[in-house]
Amino acid sequence: MTLICIVFAAWMTIQNIDQSLSRRNAEVVQAAPPEAESTQVVLNPTKTPFLPFRFPTSITVPRQPTKVMLPAPTAIPDEIIVPPQNEPDPALAFPPDSYIIDNVVSHPQWYTLDCEARSAVDWAAFFGVSIDENTFLGAMPHSDNPDLGFVGRYDGVQGQLPPNSYGVHADPVANLLNQFGVSARSGKGFSWNDLRSEIASGRPVIVWVIYGTVPGNPIQYQDSQGNITTVAYYEHTAILYGYTPDRVFISDNGQYYERPVNVFLASWGALGNMAIMAGN
């Protein structure tokens, strides 16, 4: 009878332990509610000021080494020659996925259509060259073709096309910047990688977009001399100073804002991916 009691007591103890473990497991599962998996945290990056993001190159985890038989050690020679090492190609890590330039200052425009001059003098100030905006405007050539000079009046109505008051494209602005002592190069057909590489080198870029950096439509225009160029309603300029994989950071008319990369590219593409970068 005593043996039966001992066996019964042991069986009851095991049952109690199993029930205790079951309750403990149930508590662990309930500690993470299902809705936690679907919760998305949206981070809105601080708009100003921005500190540079310098991301390291991607890290490749090496495979586990295989076992090899090593030869017996030999005597160390008097002169040790270190063979050339296989350095990683820096081009593979450049430009980085994200980069933001600090201290890009933006001021409001003086007139309705002086965005190009405002962007130019703000951009020059970043490189340490101070230019008065009115002086810059006074030296700007005029034309009915924005590729050759400013079209119309600085205080004209926004959103028009040449030969009405419109603005000016990149080449005349870059030429004038060089005359004021700021090394600048202009062009169309730049790529998104060109912009990222320039910004990752610590140099902001003047870009030709649609006002507000929203998508626009290119329009073919023929000037009085028969030259054909591409124009767009609400042509505008801004300074691009940073990017991440899915956002760009823009200074424009005294303001700082962000746009999704695809929205920016659609706006920038309306005028043929036109920009001014540092250097000749």
Angle made by CA atoms 23, 26, 29, in degrees to the nearest 5 = 155
Question: Tell me: the pLDDT tens digits for 165-192?
Answer: 999 999 999 999 999 999 999 999 999 9
Per-residue pLDDT at 90: 53
φ, ψ for residue 173 (rounded to 5)?
Answer: -70, -45
Q: Which domains does the chain have, with CATH numbers?
A: 101-278 (3.90.70.10)
Instruction: List pLDDT tens digits, range 23-74.
Output: 444 333 333 333 333 333 333 433 434 333 333 333 333 343 333 333 343 3
| Contact (Cβ atoms closer than 8 angstroms) between residue 120 and residue 140 | no
Confidence of residue 94 (pLDDT cuts 50, 70, 90): confident
C-alpha–C-alpha distance, residues 156 and 164, integer Å: 8
Between CA 133 and CA 115 the distance in angstroms is 10
Average pLDDT over residues 2-10: 49
Q: How high is the pLDDT of residue 12?
A: 53
Give the pLDDT confidence score for residue 167 in this predicted structure: 98
| Chain length of the chain | 280
Tell me the residue type at 176: L
Global pTM? 0.68
Residues above pLDDT 90, as percent of the chain: 66
